[in-house]
Structure 1
Amino acid sequence: MFDRLEADFPAHTPRPADAPKALEGVRVIDFSHFLAGPFATMIMGDMGADVIKVESPGRGDEFRHYPPVPEETPAQGAPYVWSNRNKRSLALNLKSPEAVAVIRELIAQADVVCENFSTGVMERFGLDYASVREINPKIIYCSVSAYGREGAFKDRLGFDPIAQAESGFISMNGYSDRQGVRTLSPVVDISTAMMACNAILGALLARGRTGQGQHIEIALFDNAVLMTGYAAMQHMYTGAVPQRHGNTSPDTCPSGVFMSQDKPFYINCGNDKIFHRLAAQVLERPDLADDPVYSDRNGRMARRDEIFRLLEELFAQYPWSYWQPRMRAAQIPCGEVRNVGDALRSPEARERRLVSRVAHPVLGWIPNVRLPILYSGTPLADPQPAPAVGQHTDEVLAQVLGYDAPRIAALREAGALDAPTPRRPYPAATEVTPG
C-alpha cells in the first residue's frame, strides 16, 4: 500500500535492547477514546508503560473510523493509528457484570486509569474514582472532559473546535477582515493530552513520596483558555481584546510571510539586534539599521506597512536559495512556508529522524511520526502499530490476570467479550408514533 512512499522515509532504528524505559513497570488502564485521552496514554506507552486500551467489542473506539481507513485493516484509520501505538486492545462489553468484574481485577493491580466518557458514565459502571479507590488506594485516576466533572457545565459535550471557539482561541486567528478561523490541527486536543500526561507523571512522582494515589481532572475548555497564550494576560492588563493579525505579529516587526522570487518564507525579528543584522548583513542596507526610527522596535511597529512594502520589494529580487543561506549566516530566524508533505520530507525532518517506517503485520509496514522526545538514558519504546479491536483480549486476560482457556471461554459465553445487543432503531420519519 505504501510502496510509493518507501524511498521517502527510512526504516525505524531499534532502541538498544538492554536500555531501560522511563515508565517500565507502570500499567495504564485506558478507557479514553477519540483524541485527547488516547494521545496522553500513547505518550505513556511510548515511554514504556503497559497501556491496556479498553473498548467495546466490534466497532471499538469511534476514532478508528476516521479516514483514510485501508481496506486491509478495517477500524484502523490513519488518525487512530497516529494516536494509539504501543497499546494493547482489550475488548469488553461493559454492560455485562462479568466484564466489569474483569476490569475491577485489572484496576486492582494497575497504576493509572484514564477516562474521558461523558460525566456520569463511569459512575454507572461502578468505575468512578470513589469506587476505584476502594479497590486500589494507590491508583492515579485521570478524567478528561469538556468542562469538568463538577459544576453547572459538567453535562456539556465538547470537541476541540468547540473549545477553540468558546475559549477565544478562534477569535485571535485569521485576518481582521473576516471571521476568525480554527486551526485544522487539533491543537487543543493535543495540548490537553500533553497536560494530562504531565499531570499523571507528576501524580506518579508524588505517590512515590506519599504512597497515595489521587484524582486528576483535565478539562478541554480550561486548556483552550491556556492556549490563548500571553494574550490573556495582555487583555487583563489593558482591557484590550486581542485582534486578528494574519501572519504578522502585533508585538514585533518585521515578523510575517514574505515572498522571494520563487517561494514564500517567514521571518521573525523578535528584537532590535535581529533586525539590525537583517538590514546590514542580509539586505546590505545598513542605512535601515541606522535609521533613528527603524532602529527601534516601537518605531518599526508604528511604520509596519512602510517596512513591509520595502522588504517585499527587496526579497522579490532573488530566489529563496539566495536568501536562505544569507539569513542563516546572519542568524535570522526564518523558514520556508511548507505544506505538510514537504515538511515530512524536509532535510530537517530527515536529519531528526521524525518519520520512519515500522513493520505492520498486515500492511507490511506503515509510516510513523515519533514523539519529539529524545532520552539519553531511557530511549522511547520501539513503536508498535496501533492494535485492532480486541487484538490482545485473550493475551491480557491470560498474562495479566492469569485466566486459563476455560475461564476465558466462559466469559465469552456470558457475553462479556461480545458486542452488546444493538438498541432498537428510532422509528423512521414516515412512521406515526402514539402521542
Structure 2
Amino acid sequence: MTSPVGPLSGLRVLDLTRVLAGPTCTQMLGDLGAEVIKIERPEAGDDTRGFAPPFWPETKESAYFIGVNRNKKSVTVDIAKPEGQALILKLLESSDILAENFKVGALAKYGLGYEQLKDRFPRLIYCSITGFGQTGPYAPRPGYDALIQAMGGIMSLTGEPNGSPQKAGVPVADLFAGLYGCIGILAALNHRHATGQGQQIDIGMLDTHVAWLANQGMNYLSTGENPPRLGNQHPNISPYQEYPTKDGYLILAVGNDPTFERFCKSFGQEHLLADERFATNPNRVANRDLVTQTLTPLMKTKTTTEWVAALEALKIGCGPINTLKDVFADPHVQARNMTLEMHHGSGATVKVIANPVKLSATPPTYRSAPPVLGEHTDAVLSGILGMSAVEIDTLRAKGVL
C-alpha cells in the first residue's frame, strides 16, 4: 500500500453512480487521490453487487463489483425519502463533485437535479452519465452497453465478413463513457480553479461511442460507404491480422512498406516484392484476400513461439493471442504491476486490476478495498456531518439508511 496522497487529494466526490460507466469514472478519481463517498440504496446497494457468479471467494461481493469500486466509502441513503435528500444536500456542502448516472430527470424528482443545485452550490461540478445525454430525441431512453454498441456502429464492424454482427467481449461502451466522464471532470476542475465556477458535464454513452469510431468513422465520412466487417483484419493496413501457425494463432502487424519488405526478404518471399499487388500498402489492402491466402501457408511452418522470436528480432509487430490466464501470467504485465491484492472488509484478500496511469510524482494510490454495503455510513455521517449515534440510529430505524 502507498501513502494516501495523489493529484486529486483534498477533493470530495459524492458518487450517485452504479453498475459500470459511472463507477469506472469515480474509481479513477479515487485512485488519483479524491475521497469518494458512494451513495447506495439501503439493503440492495449497487446492482452489480449481485452480478454473479462469480462471487469473490469468501465474500458476498461479485467480482464485477469489486473491479470498479475500490477507494470508495459506502454510505447507504434512501434518496426517495425527504430525510435522505436532506443528507445528500448536507454532504454537498463539503463536496466538490457529484457524479450520477440516473435517467434524465430522475434526480430532479428528489430535488437533486443540476438546475436545482447549481445556484445553491455554484462551485459544484456535476457529472451526468446517461445512455443518450441530456438532450435529443433519445434522451429519455435507458442506456445499456450492448444497445449502445449496436446503435453506435461498432457491432456492424465486428465479426467475420459472412457472420453475424458481434459486440466486443467487454462492455466498452460503458468503460469509454466513464473515462470520458473523468476527462470532463478534470477539465471542469481546471476551469473552476481559474474562475471559481462549477458546471454540468453531460456524457451520453452514444456520443462517446461515436467519438471512438476513429479510423472507421473517418473511413465512412470520407467515402460515404459503410465499412464491411473484416474479422481480425485491419481496414487500412495489410497484412495486419491473425494467422494460423503450426500450433495456434499469431497476430502479424506489418505497419508499412519497409517492414513488409523486411518480412519478405527474411522469410523467402522476395518474389512478392516484384508483384504490383503486394508492392505497396494500398495495393495490399485492395488485394487483402490474396495477401491472406499467400502468407497463410508460410505462417503455418513455425510455431507461435518460433514466429514471435523471429519477428521480434526483426522488429516486426507480432504477438500471441492470449487467454486471460496468459495475460495475467505475462512477465511484462507482471513487471508493470497490473494486479494487486487488497484487504477486504469481509476479512478476505481480493485481487484487483491496477490503474494503468503511471505518474512519476503522484502515482495512483490504493487506500481501501471495494467496500461492504454501508461499511462507512456511520463514520461519514458522524465524521463529516457531525451526527450523533442516536440521530444515525433513528434514521436507520426509519429505513433512511
TM-score range, shorter chain: over 0.9
Between 1:136-145 and 1:336-345, the stretch displaced more is 336-345
Q: Which amino acid counterpart does residue 310 of structure 2 have in structure 1?
A: R
**In the alignment, is residue 215 of structure 1 matched against residue 196 of structure 2?**
no
Identity among equivalent positions (%) equals 32
CA contact 1:112–1:142 (8 Å) conserved in 2: yes
CA contact 2:58–2:348 (8 Å) conserved in 1: no
Match of 1:311 in 2: 295
- TM-score, normalised to structure 2, is 0.95
CA contact 2:345–2:372 (8 Å) conserved in 1: no
Equivalent residue in structure 2 for 1:145, among 124, 130, 135: 130
**In the alignment, is residue 94 of structure 1 matched against residue 76 of structure 2?**
no
Match of 1:261 in 2: 246
* Equivalent-residue separation in structure 2 for 1:397 and 1:127 (angstroms): 19
Equivalent residue in structure 2 for 1:73, among 53, 59, 62: 59
Can you list the C-alpha shifts for 1:271-323, whole angstroms capped at 9, x where unaligned? 11121121223x14334345454231122223322322232111211212221
SS in 2 for 1:245: coil
Superposition pairs of residues 260-299 of structure 1, within 5 angstroms: 260-281=245-266, 283-289=267-273, 291-299=275-283
Match of 1:425 in 2: none
Equivalent residue in structure 1 for 2:25, among 18, 32, 40: 40
Unaligned runs of 5+ in 2: none
SS in 2 for 1:387: coil
Equivalent residue in structure 1 for 2:380, among 354, 376, 396: 396
Can you list the C-alpha shifts for 1:223-270, whole angstroms capped at 9, x where unaligned? 111232222222122111111000111211111111221121101112
* Equivalent-residue separation in structure 1 for 2:314 and 2:119 (angstroms): 62
Match of 2:100 in 1: 115
CA contact 1:104–1:135 (8 Å) conserved in 2: no
CA contact 1:107–1:135 (8 Å) conserved in 2: no
SS in 2 for 1:135: coil
SS in 2 for 1:368: strand
1:192 is displaced (CA, Å) by 0.7
SS in 2 for 1:134: coil
* Equivalent-residue separation in structure 1 for 2:281 and 2:293 (angstroms): 17
CA contact 2:344–2:370 (8 Å) conserved in 1: no
- TM-score, normalised to structure 1, is 0.88
CA contact 1:173–1:182 (8 Å) conserved in 2: yes
**In the alignment, is residue 376 of structure 1 matched against residue 360 of structure 2?**
yes
Match of 2:328 in 1: 344
Can you list the C-alpha shifts for 1:26-78, whole angstroms capped at 9, x where unaligned? 1000001111011100000011100000011001111111111247422x200
SS in 2 for 1:90: strand
* Equivalent-residue separation in structure 1 for 2:137 and 2:306 (angstroms): 58
Between 1:79-88 and 1:129-138, the stretch displaced more is 129-138
1:383 is displaced (CA, Å) by 5.0
CA RMSD of aligned residues (A): 1.6
* Equivalent-residue separation in structure 2 for 1:308 and 1:231 (angstroms): 21
Can you list the C-alpha shifts for 1:340-360, whole angstroms capped at 9, x where unaligned? 221121122112111222222
Match of 1:408 in 2: 392
* Equivalent-residue separation in structure 2 for 1:388 and 1:362 (angstroms): 7
C-alpha distance 252-151 of structure 1, shift in aligned 2 (>3 A)? closer
Superposition pairs of residues 49-60 of structure 1, within 5 angstroms: 49-60=34-45
Q: Which amino acid counterpart does residue 416 of structure 1 have in structure 2?
A: V
1:385 is displaced (CA, Å) by 1.6
The number of equivalent residue pairs is 400
Match of 2:338 in 1: 354
* Equivalent-residue separation in structure 2 for 1:405 and 1:363 (angstroms): 25
* Equivalent-residue separation in structure 1 for 2:287 and 2:216 (angstroms): 22
Can you list the C-alpha shifts for 1:202-231, whole angstroms capped at 9, x where unaligned? 000110001100011000111111232222
* Equivalent-residue separation in structure 2 for 1:61 and 1:321 (angstroms): 44
Unaligned runs of 5+ in 1: 1-13, 418-435
CA contact 2:344–2:371 (8 Å) conserved in 1: no
Match of 2:112 in 1: 127
